[in-house]
Amino acid sequence: MPVLVTLPTDFGTADGYVGAMKGVIARLTPEAVVVDVAHDVPRHDIAHAAWVLATSAPEFPAGTIHVAVVDPGVGGARAPVIIAAGGHLYVGPDNGLFAYVAERPDLVHAITSTAFRMPSPSDTFHGRDVFAPAAAALARGLPPGAAGPATCLAGALPWATRATARGVVVHVDVYGNLITNLPGPARPLRAGGRDIAPVRTYEELPAGGLGCYTGSAGTVEIAVREGSAAAHLRLGRGAEVAFA
Amino acid sequence: MPVLVTLPTDFGTADGYVGAMKGVIARLTPEAVVVDVAHDVPRHDIAHAAWVLATSAPEFPAGTIHVAVVDPGVGGARAPVIIAAGGHLYVGPDNGLFAYVAERPDLVHAITSTAFRMPSPSDTFHGRDVFAPAAAALARGLPPGAAGPATCLAGALPWATRATARGVVVHVDVYGNLITNLPGPARPLRAGGRDIAPVRTYEELPAGGLGCYTGSAGTVEIAVREGSAAAHLRLGRGAEVAFA
Amino acid sequence: MPVLVTLPTDFGTADGYVGAMKGVIARLTPEAVVVDVAHDVPRHDIAHAAWVLATSAPEFPAGTIHVAVVDPGVGGARAPVIIAAGGHLYVGPDNGLFAYVAERPDLVHAITSTAFRMPSPSDTFHGRDVFAPAAAALARGLPPGAAGPATCLAGALPWATRATARGVVVHVDVYGNLITNLPGPARPLRAGGRDIAPVRTYEELPAGGLGCYTGSAGTVEIAVREGSAAAHLRLGRGAEVAFA
């Protein structure tokens, strides 16, 4: 089967950035199949993109290449890397993007070889000049170890491991749901000075009702039926939550 | 040719939801080709998504599988279904999404077989756990009838049939055009207390000018040139319109 | 290899317009591979879309077909055209969209043959009825010259050529970066009554800091680190800039 290359980015789809990356991959490795994952990640929001990766990448077949570009430090000290973890390959800047999906990576290599990047990459668009060529090289079958020297991941997220009884909101999704790192099943919890009762499903909530349930990532999620829990509770990522 | 699987959803492209669905389909049926149709359907807006389906799905080749996920009742009583209608296959929640495209379905089956869904689906993300696996099963060639018992569609929309002389706005598009269920060709009409004159094309309107014409769905459409008819007339979906 | 068809549009992804175009292409030429480039071009903003084309299309392999639909004059006098330029094929309305990518086209043909459009196209949706069928015909191998009579491009943009010492902002991207037509490398410049100093990379700027550098298009770009230069300087497309 063709090799899949997924693209989670914060480029939006109003500019030429996503198209430029797709063009490079198609030019270098026509047999690769590019899959849009999420281009409307909030600009420069590494932690948001890390959660997007965590909740989408593992669903793809083993061997899929995930190219994640949320890169406010482009041109600076953070290394461009290739990571193998859990049967998948990841390509992007080492800035915390891979904190969930590569907690225990099998290997990490910096991208220095010109077989994996443009000969004279710009300092401002590594998506086009480094990460897309690296993904194209992997999709042609070049081994990650040929990209450059082995290294360790420096990027981190403060809450990338699951909590037990006290935790935090790790993600606010487009519906305004507050996704925590408290492990399911849902139980009564406190957040934003409020007691929040568990329900089995979102649909059990009355219209406008607040509750929590075990979300699709297996952790406890706080929601308002056909509303935004984030707006209702005025809470965002990093807010503390605890089982009552 | 490969089987196409289209995805109209309200997931946006800031989260991992679309990617998770694509990953499941690619993992279960690598030969399926997934086509993004519309992910920025307003959250929970079933009637909006129904119109998106009506104006896009029939253009695809016969045999295309359309997986529509706008599902505020996820985990509740609405059934997950597979529908055959007009040479196409539809997969999603039976909540009215398919009111236009499946006015007269050839067959409707509930999705109960574990060949068509995950063995233990979450209560909150049937897109990933039920609808994507069902689409993957159809794309592998399993017959819709193997998904579960035959059933009837319960979901409905109030205005899913075309009007004659009096009708309603059935869709407001991203340009603010008001699309009605009045049949073309366009004639003088009244809407929002205003008389609206027909033009042949959008481009005949002066800048900022208001008029109506026969839209691309074959019904009468109200527009303001390089502006929003919805904002100008303060009308939305469901507003009454009538030929003068 | 399969023929690629890229789609830059202002259709957004809340309606059925993108899906309808993809459906037509898949129905007429199933072997074509459609690539989403940018659907969130600001509505009716031809100059914005022209820059998107300029910064994405040339990255694709030779022979790629780029179908650009930002078409406020649909149904009016502007001609639907096919252009060959720089090894690529372009399809869309002749309204200035192709000013950068087809400064010196190899050939331009109007689309009049029914082998390249629907027999009775609507007056309001040429994306579906003219441009998608034309792209499908090209993807099947029909020559551009069979589409209709040879013609010249009438559409223009005021600043489609690069400046020397005085120039303008030609694009504001989603980050609020101001992209100019001043040629790199970056040097001190004046814009909005301010002196702006060059840095090598975006990442050299302090948080909230203003500067300029050589952008990924090879021209000088003005940015605010993790902020919007457009908002900070209150400048937009067309604003004058000059090397100091």
**How far A130 CA sits from the closest chain B CA (Å)?**
23
pLDDT at A162 > cutoff 80:
no
Q: What is the pLDDT of residues C106-126, one digit of tens each?
A: 999 999 999 999 999 998 999
Section C33-59 average pLDDT: 96
| Closest C-alpha among B70, B33, B32, B24 to residue B51 | B70
pLDDT at B200 > cutoff 90:
no
Tell me the C-alpha distance between B117 and B82, whole Å. Answer: 12
Q: pLDDT value at position B219?
A: 94
Q: Do C216 and A36 touch (CB under 8 A)?
A: no
pLDDT, chain C, mean: 95
Neighbours of chain B (3+ CB pairs under 8 A): A, C
Per-residue pLDDT band for B232 (boundaries 50, 70, 90) equals: very high
What's the DSSP call for residue B110?
Answer: E
- What ipTM was reported for this prediction? 0.95
Tell me which of A216, A219, A221 to substitute to probe the interface with B (most B C-beta atoms closer than 10 Å): A216
Q: Do B51 and C16 touch (CB under 8 A)?
A: yes
Q: Do C216 and A73 touch (CB under 8 A)?
A: no
Q: pLDDT value at position A75?
A: 83
For the record, the structure tokens of B49 come out as 């998504």
Tell me the C-alpha distance between B159 and B141, whole Å. Answer: 34
Nearest to A76 among C4, C13, C201 (CB): C201
Tell me the C-alpha distance between A83 and A144, whole Å. Answer: 8
Chain C hits for A73, Cβ within 8 Å: 203
Per-residue pLDDT band for B158 (boundaries 50, 70, 90) equals: confident
Per-residue pLDDT band for B110 (boundaries 50, 70, 90) equals: very high
Residue A180 identity (one-letter amino acid): T
With residue C229 as reference, give the H or E element that holds it.
helix C229-233
CA C185 to chain centre: 24
Q: What is the pLDDT of residues A94-110, one digit of tens each?
A: 999 999 999 999 999 99
What's the DSSP call for residue B234?
Answer: T
pLDDT at B108 > cutoff 90:
yes
pLDDT, chain B, mean: 95
What's the DSSP call for residue B93?
Answer: E
pLDDT at B162 > cutoff 80:
no
Q: pLDDT value at position B164?
A: 84
Q: pLDDT value at position B163?
A: 80
Is the Cβ–Cβ distance between C212 and C222 less than 8 Å? Answer: yes
Q: What is the pLDDT of residues C137-166, one digit of tens each?
A: 999 999 999 999 999 999 888 776 778 889
Tell me which of A36, A124, A131, A140 to substitute to probe the interface with C (most C C-beta atoms closer than 10 Å): A124
Q: pTM for this structure?
A: 0.96
Q: pLDDT value at position A77?
A: 86
Tell me the C-alpha distance between C241 and C193, whole Å. Answer: 9
pLDDT at B160 > cutoff 80:
no
pLDDT at B202 > cutoff 90:
no
Q: pLDDT value at position C2?
A: 80
Per-residue pLDDT band for A200 (boundaries 50, 70, 90) equals: confident
Per-residue pLDDT band for B182 (boundaries 50, 70, 90) equals: very high
Q: What is the pLDDT of residues B71-101, one digit of tens each?
A: 988 888 899 999 999 999 999 999 999 999 9
Per-residue pLDDT band for B134 (boundaries 50, 70, 90) equals: very high
| Closest C-alpha among B8, B42, B44 to residue B230 | B42
pLDDT at A177 > cutoff 90:
yes
Per-residue pLDDT band for C87 (boundaries 50, 70, 90) equals: very high
Section C173-182 average pLDDT: 95
Section C181-197 average pLDDT: 95
Q: Catalogue all structural domains in chain A, each as residue range(s) with its CATH number.
A: 4-146 (3.40.50.10790), 166-243 (2.40.30.90)
Question: How long, in residues, is chain C?
Answer: 244
pLDDT at A160 > cutoff 80:
no
Q: pLDDT value at position C243?
A: 95
Q: pLDDT value at position C210?
A: 96
Q: What is the pLDDT of residues A1-59, one digit of tens each?
A: 689 999 999 999 999 999 999 999 999 999 999 999 999 999 999 999 999 999 999 99
Percent above pLDDT 90 for chain C: 89
Q: Do A20 and C55 touch (CB under 8 A)?
A: yes
Rg of the Cα trace of chain C? Answer: 19
Q: pLDDT value at position A73?
A: 87
For the record, the structure tokens of C181 come out as 């037509």
Taking only residues 36 to 55 of chain C, the set having a beta carbon closer than 8 angstroms to any beta carbon of chain A reads 36-42, 48, 51-55
pLDDT, chain A, mean: 95
